Amino acid sequence: MATEVGHIAELLHTATSDETPLQKRLDLVARRLLWACLGIVVLVFALGWFRSIAPFEMLLTLVVIPALYVIWIWQTDVKQRSVGEKRGTGHALPLQSS
């Protein structure tokens, strides 16, 4: 690899990708959100059990609510993408022109 392109290829091949500080912080936030959500799920299930709601009904509630949220997020993303495509930008949000 005596050429400059070969040297660049070798550098790319031997490069390591460490997590950036932003990726580390996002990972920490994601873990905290996960534990908060799991805590809310346990709390809702315990309150339902305390109020003598059938466990199967509580299970359905704890599965359906997050599923509906995911569907709503997906639908919102699809609508934003279609608006961007109708404007011809190909982006979910139009680019700012300066």
Does residue 82 contact residue 88 with C-beta atoms inside 8 Å?
A: no
Beta strands in the chain (DSSP E): none
Note whether residue 5 is domain-resident.
no
- pLDDT value at 58 more than 80: yes
Are the CB atoms for 90 and 73 separated by under 8 Å? no
0.85 exceeded by pTM: no
Q: Confidence band (pLDDT; 50, 70, 90) for 83?
A: low
Look at residue 97 and tell me if it is in a domain.
no
Amino acid 68: pLDDT: 77
Domain extent at residue 74: 20-85
Q: Who contacts 41 (Cβ-Cβ below 8 Å, separation ≥6)?
A: 62
88 has pLDDT over 60? no
Nearest to 27 by CA among 14, 18, 40: 18
Domain count, the chain: 1
In this structure, is residue 10 part of a structural domain?
no
